[in-house]
Amino acid sequence: MRFRLSPPGVPVLLVSLAIAVTAIATLYTKVPFVGHYVTLHRFWVMAAAYGVLLAGVLFEDL
């Protein structure tokens, strides 16, 4: 079985990047509104960022 992979679209890339940057930013500073949740669940937020990117690679129309 072969997977047909495609590069992620720009919106998917930007969403994934924004989620990852938010998780990394909580290491160094306080992030308003979502900072408390992201600080408590930083690993899972980074996993979600990579999951969004993976979905963009696996599904062509994203």
pLDDT tens digits along 23-39: 999 999 988 888 889 99
> Is the pTM for the entire model greater than 0.75?
yes
Question: What are the phi and psi torsion angles at 3 (to 5°)?
Answer: -95, 135
Average pLDDT rounded to a whole number, residues 6-20: 95
Does residue 21 sit within a domain?
Answer: yes
pLDDT for res 26 = 92
Q: How many domains does the chain have?
A: 1
Does residue 1 sit within a domain?
Answer: no
Tell me if 16 sits within 8 A of 52, measured CB to CB: yes
Does residue 4 sit within a domain?
Answer: no
pLDDT digits (tens, 9 = 90+) for 32-58: 888 889 999 999 999 999 999 999 999
Question: What are the phi and psi torsion angles at 8 (to 5°)?
Answer: -70, 150
Does residue 5 sit within a domain?
Answer: no
Does residue 48 sit within a domain?
Answer: yes
* Distance from C-alpha of 40 to C-alpha of 27, rounded to nearest angstrom: 11
Average pLDDT rounded to a whole number, residues 3-11: 90
Buried b (16+ CB within 10 A) or exposed e, 22-33: bbeebeeeebee
Q: What residue numbers bound the domain in which 54 lies? A: 10-58
